[in-house]
């Protein structure tokens, strides 16, 4: 009997782990699909781009718990979240638990929320934030001096969680007296290459930018490297120590455009690519680089289909029981630095929630040819009529 009971416990544990893995996989797939969508939507020829889809997705996953109706649908579609908020909540909180249990300095994740004091938020929503292991702090955004103090504290928290790599995430223009909540995720990554580059072999060479050639430092090594060759690009995989992560580099073939590869990429294509790598003897020359960018993402996310959460019709009733809240902006900042030893990267995302203002008046801008009439009211006679094609012309 005891043997049967032990078998049942083992089988139950196995099924439970598999179910948990399935939940996490849904979050992984959604995050990666969002990554490729955002890369395509935000790509600008000739400009550097760097972002953490994981940080953005985490911050918006916390926010998603508060949505309803069209707002929920727009976020689900754009972020590749399941329509069930409970399933999305479970997927993301289990994902964060996975990283927490790794107990490695390679990945460091943190969530925090700053909420307006004496403003009602539902118990269910606030309880859900605890599942994200989010630190909750109450501040006063209504008061000018206290608002500035809150902004400083948020930025200090972000700096501390990203080893001072991300500074001044929240600017003065990002908060005002209508701000009611700011949900923040921070991520820090620091890993050495499995096979490091010898600094003595770093050499100056030309890098061909869209605007012409520049001279920069190239790290070099001759080694067995995971590599694959496709019709329009080639790719390599560079693992980090402990094999917890790798960097993948896709290099367009001669005459091919980066934009075309960005458009082609999606989660399935990327997974297929990763299956094709084979160890090959390669002479590698990789530039040392540091890319750092800050984005206010409202325009880009709306372009991707997330319209309702930023509009007057936003519905965050699961957040505070009413329909008076809207996302003011999603602010994201990221930095990636690569050298001979490895890679240091950090990112932070802030979702700024504010209270809605009065509905904007309908605009009627008379900035093109128009017809006019002057009518007296008692009898209804039209006294004058005309068409104006040029208001500056008098004859």
Beta bridge partners of 249: 236
- Structure tokens that stand for 304 in this block: 């991707």
Helix 85-102 × helix 53-64 angle, to 10°: 130
Most confident of 117-121, 230-234, 380-384, 389-393: 117-121
Comparing C-alpha atoms, which of 220, 206, 330, 216 is closest to residue 286?
A: 220
In which band, very low, low, confident or very high, does the pLDDT at 383 lie, cut at 50, 70 and 90? low
pLDDT of residue 381: 62
Residue 380: is its pLDDT beyond 70?
no
**333 CB-contact burial (10 Å; exposed 0-12 / middle 13-18 / buried 19+):** buried
pLDDT of residue 208: 82
Across 163-177, average pLDDT: 94
pLDDT of residue 370: 67
| pTM for this predicted structure | 0.85
pLDDT of residue 160: 96
Give the mean pLDDT of the chain.
86
Comparing C-alpha atoms, which of 123, 108, 110, 105 is closest to residue 65?
A: 123
Residue 342: is its pLDDT beyond 80?
yes
Query: Which domains can be identified in the chain, with CATH numbers?
Result: 9-192+290-355 (3.30.497.10), 199-289 (2.30.39.10)
Longest CA pairwise span in the chain (Å): 106
Q: What is the pLDDT of residues 44-86, one digit of tens each?
A: 888 888 889 999 999 999 999 999 999 999 999 999 999 999 9
Give the strand pairing for 134-139 and 107-116: parallel
Q: Which helix (H) or strand (E) holds 96?
A: helix 85-102
Q: Over pLDDT 70: what percentage of the chain?
A: 87
Positive or negative CA dihedral for 364, 368, 374, 380?
negative
Judge contact between 370 and 388, C-beta under 8 A: yes
For residue 308, give the DSSP letter: G
- Rounded to 5 degrees, φ, ψ at 141 are -80, -15
Cα gap 308→314, rounded to integer Å: 5
Q: Supply angle C-alpha 259, 190, 223, rounded to 5.
A: 70
pLDDT of residue 75: 96
In which band, very low, low, confident or very high, does the pLDDT at 393 lie, cut at 50, 70 and 90? low
Comparing C-alpha atoms, which of 63, 4, 130 is closest to residue 310?
A: 63
Residue 369: is its pLDDT beyond 90?
no
| Residue whose token pair is 């600094």 | 199
Q: What is the pLDDT of residues 297-310, one digit of tens each?
A: 999 999 999 999 99
pLDDT of residue 1: 43
Judge contact between 202 and 339, C-beta under 8 A: no
Residue 12: is its pLDDT beyond 50?
no
Cα gap 124→134, rounded to integer Å: 14
pLDDT of residue 10: 33
Residue 373: is its pLDDT beyond 70?
no
Per the model's pLDDT, the better-predicted residue between 153 and 221 turns out to be 153
Q: Tell me if residue 23 falls in helix, strand or coil.
A: helix
pLDDT of residue 305: 95
Residue 337: is its pLDDT beyond 50?
yes
The number of beta carbons lying within 10 Å of the beta carbon of residue 21 is 12
pLDDT of residue 364: 63
Q: What is the pLDDT of residues 102-137, one digit of tens each?
A: 888 888 999 999 999 999 999 999 999 999 999 999
Least confident of 90-99, 175-184, 232-241, 346-355: 232-241
Q: Tell me if residue 172 falls in helix, strand or coil.
A: helix
């Amino acid at each position: 009997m005891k043997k049967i009971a032990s078998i049942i416990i083992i089988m139950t544990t196995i099924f439970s782990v598999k179910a948990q893995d399935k939940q996490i996989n849904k979050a992984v797939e959604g995050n990666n699909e969002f990554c490729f969508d955002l890369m395509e939507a935000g790509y600008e020829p000739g400009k550097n781009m760097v972002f953490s889809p994981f940080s953005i997705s985490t911050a918006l996953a916390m926010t998603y718990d508060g949505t309803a109706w069209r707002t929920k649908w727009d976020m689900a579609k754009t972020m590749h979240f399941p329509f069930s908020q409970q399933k999305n909540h479970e997927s993301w909180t289990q994902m964060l638990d996975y990283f927490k249990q790794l107990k490695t300095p390679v990945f460091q994740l943190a969530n925090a929320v700053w909420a307006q004091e004496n403003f009602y938020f539902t118990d269910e929503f606030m309880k859900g934030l605890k599942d994200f292991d989010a630190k909750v702090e109450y501040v006063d955004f209504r008061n000018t001096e206290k608002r500035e103090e809150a902004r400083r504290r948020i930025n200090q928290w972000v700096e501390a969680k990203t080893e001072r790599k991300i500074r001044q995430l929240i600017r003065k223009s990002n908060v005002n007296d209508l701000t009611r909540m700011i949900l923040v995720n921070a991520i820090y990554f620091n890993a050495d290459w499995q096979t490091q580059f010898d600094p003595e072999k770093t050499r100056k060479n030309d890098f061909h930018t869209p605007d012409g050639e520049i001279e920069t430092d190239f790290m070099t090594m001759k080694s067995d490297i995971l590599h694959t060759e496709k019709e329009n690009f080639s790719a390599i995989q560079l693992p980090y120590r402990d094999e917890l992560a790798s960097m993948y580099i896709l290099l367009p073939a001669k005459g091919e455009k980066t934009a075309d590869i960005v458009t082609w990429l999606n989660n399935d294509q990327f997974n297929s690519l990763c299956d094709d790598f084979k160890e090959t003897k390669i002479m590698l020359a990789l530039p040392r680089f540091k890319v750092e960018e800050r984005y206010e993402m409202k325009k880009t996310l709306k372009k991707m289909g997330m319209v309702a959460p930023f509009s007057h019709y936003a519905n965050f009733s699961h957040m505070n029981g009413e329909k008076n809240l809207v996302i003011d902006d999603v602010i994201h900042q990221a930095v990636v630095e690569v050298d001979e030893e490895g890679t240091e990267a950090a990112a932070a995302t802030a979702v700024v929630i504010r209270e809605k203002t009065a509905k904007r008046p309908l605009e009627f801008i008379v900035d093109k040819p128009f017809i006019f009439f002057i009518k007296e009211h008692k009898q209804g006679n039209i006294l004058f009529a005309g068409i104006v094609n040029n208001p500056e012309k008098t004859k």
